[in-house]
Structure 1
Amino acid sequence: MKAHFKTMLLMLFVIVQNTVAQDTKRIFNTKEKNAVVSAVKTHLEESYIDLDLSKKMITELDKNLKSNKYNKITSPDEFSKTITEDLQSISKDLHLKVRFEPERIAQEKHVVSEEKQLEMEKRTALQMAEVNYGFEEAKILDGNIGYLNLTQFVDIKYAEETASATMNFLSNTNAIIIDLRSNGGGVPSMMQLLSSYFFDKTPVLLSDFYERKTNTKTQLYSFENVIGKRSINKPLYILTSKNTFSAAEAFAYTLKHLDKATVVGEITKGGANRTKRVNLNDEFTISIPYIQSIHPVTKSNWEGKGVQPTIKTNEKDAFVYAYVDAIEKTFKRNKNTTLNKIGYVFLQDKSVDNAIIVFQENVKLFPNDSNSWDSLGEAYFANQDKKNALKAYKKALELDSTLDSAKSMIQKLESKN
């Protein structure tokens, strides 16, 4: 019986695959194109978050139809990509996409039993567990600074236990760095949960939401109850890149403008509004932003603009700048010694560029400390920057004429010139 069932599933899969292959190769005629464009226009007019922009996009599509722009396109895939480009050229909305995906639509229409749905749910949970629900790395850095590399925002129905365990692991640190540089987003519930660890139990308004089609408003608050210890007054740093998107941006933007986080890195991708995927027909879908996010402080969001970092730097250097700033803000004593130790950890790990940044910051903070200049000279030398190494060693010797390590390196560098 099981073998027969597997055979039937295999046959169904092959049929669907063959159908998709045939659909991809077939000629896509003008009547079909017009029908897809018409369906796109209907959904834009009904649901897209910005009515004025939807009208402009509809005008653009009409203009392209009249100019026969789409006439030469015979591939459904190419057609969907072209329509997407036309919509995004007006809206600048990276969530707004038309896709050719008959296989996905066919699978959706296939009636699935309750038992099968439960099996699929378990499979999804297992897949999420295999990547630890996006919690890729959590550790305590020198100086008691917590670090979390979070690669996606998974629904808390799967990931609450892991999220809570991670936040509790980091709860006794002096500051926390959450790395979202490779995070493409996910679902709001994880953003809501993680945010809640940085507020007290009194619920705080995180975001308002407005749906134009139904003219309804909803709100998202921090949770009154979380598992374990909160980190209410702890410095929080959120690392971003140009690839940080959607729910990851929501987390950064929300906490930045509620004065709970320092954002370090690059301007993010710029996708703010909630999206749903709708079938246009049996072959095409549209992902359409239909609910607008509105921050309670800015009364706006980051759509098309991205989240602006508090400390702007490139993606590669974001971590070390956040780390140094965290040490500066949380250490009252032995700051010089701690930064020097961190610099040498980077040197030992062959992260010479990071070591140089740490040592440079150390000599800014402690310009009369000979050892800090000596360490900076060592980092420059490791980076084969002999000119700056010599300057640093000379400064170290100027501050301490008995510093033998600086004397030795100056002789070595000058003998090579």
Structure 2
Amino acid sequence: MPLYRLSKFRLPGKGQSASDGAVIQATSATPAPFQVPIHGGTYNMPSSDFESMRKDVILEIIRLTEEKYVYPDAGKKIAAHIQKKLEGGEYDDIATEQALASQLTTDLRSISGDHHWSVRYDPKGAATSVDPENEPDEDRMARYLEASRKKNFGFERVERLKGNIGYIDLRYLHPSEHAGETAVAAMQFVAHCDTLIIDLRQNHGGYPSMEQLLASYLFDSEPRLFNTFYYRPTDDTQQFWTFPHVPGRRRPDIPLYLLISGDTGSGAEAFAYSLKYMGRATLIGETTKGAAHPVTKEIVQGVFDVRLPYGRPINPVTGTNWEGKGVEPHIAVPADEALKIAHLHAMENLFEGCQDDDEKASLMWAMEIIESEYSPTVLDETALSRFEGAYEMLRFFVRDGDLFYGHAEIPDAWKLIPISETRFRLDEDMKFEFVLDPSDQVCAVRTTFVDGRPERHTEKTEPDPG
């Protein structure tokens, strides 16, 4: 059986553009970690003699365990245990296919301690399984590509957040063969940002060729060993290295945050784990699923769907992986707070590292707005009414539960957004801070501007806007 091609996405060689007939391939003829290959057995459909079929199923699972389970020694022990139960007649009272599948699942999991194992009686699903040794037919591939295209090949959102922070919400790692152009476009969109956040909180996995491509933008041109994968059925080990050449601009120095959650799984975990132990990223959120071992699907007797782990990633730094443990964040917070924490953490780091006074003032201005957007201040009309009045030429009044700002010489008025109990902003350009006297009454308003114009202090002249 051939190994699986991970990607045909072609990257340009040195001195070439992306259209020059690129020469570097992600990998060639390799297993696809973190996916579920399907293996169709050359077996007859079950006979009416259930006892004979039952024994054949068990013997075939014993063989699969010995030959394909991710840990060879453990596979032999599991197989021997099942063989002993078979010879001892412990399966003789099982009278239905569903009961046999359930008992085998229970036994395989309890013996191995590995909950990747499963056996299901699924005659309909098994009959429609495709032999991976044959290339997918054109119609099937077209359906896959169309469905992937409609989901933008996993790139849910790519944007520039306040403070010039790049953000990529990545929901699935599609093969770079198909998603490479989209990935390159995403990385170039954020190429001029000061920090990058990649959100993996809703990413359940995918193909290593996409991990490899994205990681290549986060290091310099010197190839680095990113991950190693051991494939038990053929006893092969494959290495994944970053590429020496990629289309567009690399950002080996950009501060990087990865957002993770309890839903982050498989290939997305691999990406986070590798970048964490390469010292390249700060992980924020929750410990991930802990699903390091990819699972293969085997069809037994034409009607049983058997899933078992068939390979494992081996990190070049730790010598192991995250199976059963998950990838732990550097900063542990609830998943729904991870973006806020990462964004603010990034801004604080930019501020602390800034040497230019004007730039520091700009960062401080943005940080206050960012924090207020993640934790909005809510004021009712009673609280807002204390700010109503005329402040020389400036006017403030409450309408429909919001505070508005206007000018005596301009008929228009603009809604203000509260930043705190006494501070408001007009879009991102102006801020107003109401000044309180010793008796806690509003006596003035202080106006500041994002462009650095001098601050204005305006006394309150009328108690209401008139």
TM-score of the pair, normalised by structure 2: 0.65
Number of matched pairs: 341
Task: State the Cα distance separating 1:300 from its structure 2 match.
Answer: 0.8
Matches within 5 A, 1:151-166: 151-166=171-186
- Given candidates 265, 270, 279, the residue that maps to 2:299 is 279
* d(CA) in 2 for partners of 1:250, 1:59: 32
1:190-209 equivalences under 5 Å are 190-209=210-229
Secondary structure of 1:233 counterpart: coil
2:75 equivalent to 1:54: yes
Are the equivalent residues in 2 in contact too, given 1:272–1:302 (CA < 8 A)?
A: yes
Q: Out of 374, 380, 392, which is 1:346 matched to?
A: 374
- In the aligned structure 2, how far is the partner of 1:321 from the partner of 1:240? 12
Is 2:253 the counterpart of 1:233?
yes
Change over 3 Å in CA distance of 1:125–1:402 after alignment to 2: closer
**Looking at CA atoms only, which structure, 1 or 2, has the larger radius of gyration?**
2
Higher RCO (Cα < 8 Å, 6 or more apart): 2
Spell out, residue by residue over 1:259-312, the C-alpha distance to the aligned partner (whole angstroms, 9 max, x if none): 111111111111113433222220123233222211111111111111111111
> What displacement does 1:377 show?
6.3
Deviation digits for residues 368-402 of structure 1 (CA, Å, limit 9, x no counterpart): xxxxxx956689xxxxxxxxxxxxxxxxxxxx996
Contact between 2:340 and 2:374, CA under 8 Å: does it hold in 1? no
Q: How does 1:250-265 map to 2 (within 5 A)?
A: 250-265=270-285
User: RMSD of the alignment, in Å?
Assistant: 3.6
State how far apart, in whole Å, the 1-side matches of 2:439 and 2:121 are: 66
In 2, Cα distance between equivalents of 1:139 and 1:112: 40
Pairwise CA distance, 1:28? 10
Following superposition of structure 1 onto structure 2, how do residues 38-49 of structure 1 map, counting pairs within 5 Å? Answer: 38-49=59-70
Q: Distance in 2 between matches of 1:68 and 1:408?
A: 85
Q: Which amino acid aligns with 1:198?
A: L
What is the CA distance between 1:314 and its match in structure 2? 1.6
Shift, 1:241, TM fit: 1.1
**Residue 27 of structure 1: CA displacement?**
10
**2:290 equivalent in structure 1:** 270
Q: Distance in 2 between matches of 1:90 and 1:404?
A: 75
Q: Residue 299 of structure 1: which of 299, 319, 326 is its match?
A: 319
Deviation at 1:164, TM superposition (A): 0.8
Note if contact 2:164-2:193 (Cα within 8 Å) is conserved in structure 1.
Answer: yes
Question: Which residue in the other structure is 1:80 paired with?
Answer: 101
Q: CA deviation at 1:112?
A: 12
Question: 2: distance between equivalents of 1:225 and 1:181?
Answer: 29
Counterpart mapping for 1:375-390 below 5 A:
none
Tell me which residue corresponds to 2:117. 96
Following superposition of structure 1 onto structure 2, how do residues 212-227 of structure 1 map, counting pairs within 5 Å?
Answer: 212-227=232-247
**Which letter does structure 2 place at the counterpart of 1:219?**
Q
Question: How big is each residue's C-alpha offset from its partner over 1:13-61, in whole Å with a ceiling of 9 and x where there is no partner?
Answer: xxxxxxxxxx9xx999454343323222211111112123324433554
Residues 51, 162 of structure 1: alpha-carbon distance in 2 compared, 3 angstrom cutoff: same
- Write the deviation string for residues 172-216 of structure 1: whole angstroms up to 9, x where unpaired: 111111111111111111111111110112211111222344333
- How far apart, in 2, do the equivalents of 1:125 and 1:259 lie? 35
Contact 2:344 2:371 in 1 (8 A): no
Note closer, same or farther for the CA distance 1:94–1:405 as it changes in structure 2 (3 Å cut). farther
Percent identity of equivalent pairs: 35
Q: Distance in 2 between matches of 1:54 and 1:268?
A: 26
Kindly indicate whether residue 126 of structure 2 is the aligned counterpart of residue 126 of structure 1.
Answer: no
Instruction: Please state how far the C-alpha of 1:346 moved relative to its aligned partner.
Output: 2.7
Q: Does structure 2 conserve the Cα–Cα contact (< 8 Å) formed by 1:28 and 1:74? A: no
1:321 to 319, 322, 341: 341
More strand by share: 2
Would the alpha carbon gap of residues 345 and 279 (structure 1) be closer, same or farther in structure 2, given more than 3 Å must change?
same
> Matched residue of 1:161: which SS?
helix
- Map of 1:174 onto structure 2: 194
For residues 122 and 248 of structure 2, the distance between their equivalents in structure 1, rounded to whole angstroms, comes to 44
Q: Is the 8 A contact 1:94 1:270 kept in 2?
A: no
Aligned to 2:430: none
Instruction: Identify the residue that residue 35 of structure 2 maps to in structure 1.
Output: none
Structure 1: how far apart are the matches of 2:180 and 2:123?
34
Partner SS for 1:316 = helix
Instruction: Verify the 8 A CA contact 2:205 2:264 in the aligned structure 1.
Output: yes
Q: 1:218 to 1:113 in 2, by over 3 A?
A: closer
Structure 2 CA distance for partners of 1:110 and 1:148, relative to 1, 3 Å = closer
Structure 1 residues without counterparts, runs of 5 or longer: 1-22, 351-373, 380-399, 410-417
Amino acid at match of 1:241: S
Change (3 A) 1:402 1:51: same
Separation in structure 1 between the aligned mates of residue 238 and residue 133 of structure 2, nearest angstrom: 32
Determine if contact 1:60/1:86 at 8 Å carries over to the other structure: no
Amino acid paired to 1:51:
P
Which secondary structure state, in structure 2, belongs to the residue aligned with residue 149 of structure 1? strand
Distance in 2 between residues matched to 1:317 and 1:69, nearest whole Å: 50
Question: Does 2:155 match 1:135?
Answer: yes
- Pick one of 351, 359, 365 that aligns with 1:337: 365
AA in 1 matched with 2:62: K
| Alpha-carbon separation, structure 2, partners of 1:200 and 1:98 | 45
CA distance in 1 between counterparts of 2:60 and 2:422 reads: 65
Q: Secondary structure at the match of 2:128?
A: helix
CA 1:347–1:284: 2 relative to 1, 3 Å: same
Q: 2:166 & 2:241 partners in 1: Cα distance? A: 25
Query: 1:354 maps to which residue?
Result: none
